[in-house]
Amino acid sequence: MKAIVNVYLKEGVLDPQGKAVHHALGALGFENVSNVRVGKQIVLDLQSSSEEEAKQEVEKMCETLLANTVIEDYNIEIVQ
């Protein structure tokens, strides 16, 4: 089973990496871009018996390690 976790900064939290990418895109001539946010995508291979169990376990991982819930949100998608 595979879990895809997207971790991204909450709305309103400054994203310097996104700002840098936005600036660089502008310098390269891409003028159509109005905003850029950069987050993390973590792909986990799991040996869980059920989708429900996998989701609960990954949620615990997010709360304890994968995301800083003070400034970051996350979403979890279980595939296969």
Please give the residue ranges that form the binding site for its own copies (CB under 8 A). Answer: 6, 8, 18, 21, 24-25, 28, 30, 32-48, 57, 60-61, 64-66
* Kind of pairing between the strands at 72-79 and 2-9: antiparallel
CB of 30: closest distance to its own copies in angstroms?
6
Give the sign of the dihedral formed by CA 27, CA 33, CA 35, CA 38.
Answer: negative
Q: Which is nearer to its own copies, 43 or 71 (CB)?
A: 43
Report yes or no: 37 and 73 within 8 Å, Cβ to Cβ: no
Q: Which is nearer to its own copies, 34 or 80 (CB)?
A: 34
Could you give the CA distance from residue 44 to residue 23 in angstroms, rounded to a whole number? 32
CB of 80: closest distance to its own copies in angstroms?
13
CB of 64: closest distance to its own copies in angstroms?
6
